[in-house]
Structure 1
Amino acid sequence: MSPLPATVPAIVRTRIRAAVRRRPASGPVAPGDRGLVLRLMSLMLQYPDAELVTARPAVAAAVAALPASPTAAELAAFADWFTGQDPDALARHYVDMFDLRRKSSLYLTYYLHGDTRRRGMALLTLAQRYRAAGWDTDGGELPDHLPVVLEFAALTGPGAGEAPLRQHRRGLQLIHRALSDAESPYRHVLAALLTLLPPPTEADDKAVAELAAQGPPNEDVGLDPYAGELFAPPGTFVPPAPAPPTTVEGHR
């Protein structure tokens, strides 16, 4: 993997390598501040284990060094909270927001496909996209886990690298909405990410409102297809069991 900017310490580089590995002869790394911003978002949305807790001052310093922008302002608001939290309280908050709540899960294909067989195909397609770019996930996370998607975007570039983020914009909007409703400081990270994507359309806003009210589709075996609709029709959603806790190195 190409080296990360000097503002991110070696202990954080190790965390990124644990999320996604890049094979030799892969595509170019995204240049400039945009790549660093995406890497920082990836780190901020990982489980705050001992490594990341230790690296918080360096992460905050990298955010403070960013040029002024709405994106940087959102990340600075998060970093102020992130660096001042007790580690145990921070871990509990992370689990509450991302492991125990369906509407703020970090697994992006869930919002588009729910617990259906189409989600399995979407995960396979995303993994194939990574391999086509010269990437392999290490098996520690599903390919649609947002920190992994962000790191792929950072190192592959704003075109093909950010395509999965654009594809799942509505899911990202829902995560931001859920985090805002919960008054979680993690909402700032999602707000920062949304500033990098094209503005939402009226159709996006309507679909997110429907998704928030109805939930993603459940398994549709034996049901009529949704005829190309992004979400299930009213009344078909059965809430799935809570997602299992996020698994990263040092967190089980």
Structure 2
Amino acid sequence: MAANPAYQWLSALLCYPQADLIAALPEFQAALDEWPALSAQRSELQALLDYLHSHDLIELQENYVATFDRNRSHALYLFEHVHGEDRDRGSAMVDLLQEYQRHGFTLGNDELPDYLPALLEFLAHIDTAHAQKLLGDAVHVIEHIRVKLAKNHSPYAAVLAAAVALSPVTPQPLIEPPVRDMDEAMETFGPDVSGIEPLLKPAIDTIQFYPKSDFQAACKGASA
């Protein structure tokens, strides 16, 4: 039983649509009707459930791929929006993976730790206070993706809006990361143990969902 089922609910809705998701739509509807935590986003989430209910599975899958896999501005990999191709992304991945491991949470072989549905699933099974802290760290990136989805009138924006609403932290504007040439980075720093990413920096104490310098700049801009 999930400690924080709302996170698990949102995680499932953000995953690639499969037949079992469609079969479970009545359960999602019941949860939306009953959970006060989601009441502020009720109309938008209802529109997403209606969308999933009214389209063929193949069409849903094609739209999902077009939305998230073929449009990098909508990518559900959080660190892509923070670090781009910079080598700090690999360090942040390691930090987050270690956070999962400390709580006995295991990712599938084909999953990356910064995949938003994976993070939400993790938050569903840990202490509520710690889940709120991690969500507060990530909320700036989640809101950044939500804005992009909303501009393209995607019904999935409702899921990210609900995640933002559950956070105790008000999101700040996200500064777009610089694009680093990965071949150049490999030549400069050498490969990591996997041979895929450039050599990682030593792990830091906090997970880099949001660079401190960028956060401070955004805060100054918001208060000016």
TM-score (norm 1): 0.67
User: Which residue does 1:62 correspond to in 2?
Assistant: 31
Q: Output one character per residue of 1:148-199: Cα deviation in whole Å (capped at 9) or x when no partner.
A: 1001111103322343322222211111111111101111111111111135
Aligned pair partner of 1:193 in 154, 163, 166: 163
2:213 maps to amino acid: E
Aligned pair partner of 1:169 in 114, 133, 139: 139
2:65 maps to amino acid: V
Distance apart, 1:228 and its partner CA: 5.8
1:146 paired with 2:116, answer: yes
Q: Output one character per residue of 1:117-165: Cα deviation in whole Å (capped at 9) or x when no partner.
A: 1111111110100111122212231011111100111110332234332
CA distance in 2 between counterparts of 1:71 and 1:145 reads: 22
1:75 paired with 2:45, answer: yes
Could you list the runs of 5+ residues in structure 2 that have no partner in the other structure? Answer: 189-210, 216-224
Is the Cα contact below 8 Å between 2:136 and 2:169 reproduced in 1?
Answer: no
Distance apart, 1:64 and its partner CA: 2.4
CA distance in 1 between counterparts of 2:79 and 2:129 reads: 20
Q: Output one character per residue of 1:13-67: Cα deviation in whole Å (capped at 9) or x when no partner.
A: xxxxxxxxxxxxxxxx52xxxx221111000000002222222232223222323
Q: Which has the higher helix share?
A: 2
1:105 paired with 2:75, answer: yes
1:155 paired with 2:160, answer: no
Correspondence 1:81-100 to 2 at 5 A: 81-100=51-70
Correspondence 1:18-33 to 2 at 5 A: 29-30=2-3
The two structures, once aligned, show a CA RMSD in angstroms of 2.3
CA distance in 2 between counterparts of 1:172 and 1:185 reads: 15
Distance apart, 1:73 and its partner CA: 4.1
CA distance in 1 between counterparts of 2:126 and 2:169 reads: 22
CA distance in 2 between counterparts of 1:133 and 1:199 reads: 23
The secondary structure found in structure 1 opposite 2:129 is coil
- Using the aligned pairs only, state the percent identity: 34
Aligned pair partner of 2:100 in 120, 126, 130: 130
CA distance in 1 between counterparts of 2:114 and 2:52 reads: 24
CA distance in 1 between counterparts of 2:57 and 2:63 reads: 10
TM-score (norm 2): 0.75
Q: Could you list the runs of 4 or more consecutive aligned residues of structure 1 that deviate by over 3 angstroms after TM superposition?
A: 71-74, 227-231
Aligned pair partner of 2:213 in 204, 211, 229: 229
CA distance in 1 between counterparts of 2:66 and 2:132 reads: 28
Could you list the runs of 5+ residues in structure 1 that have no partner in the other structure? Answer: 4-28, 232-252
Correspondence 1:19-58 to 2 at 5 A: 29-30=2-3, 35-58=4-27
User: Which residue does 1:219 correspond to in 2?
Assistant: 180
1:229 maps to amino acid: S
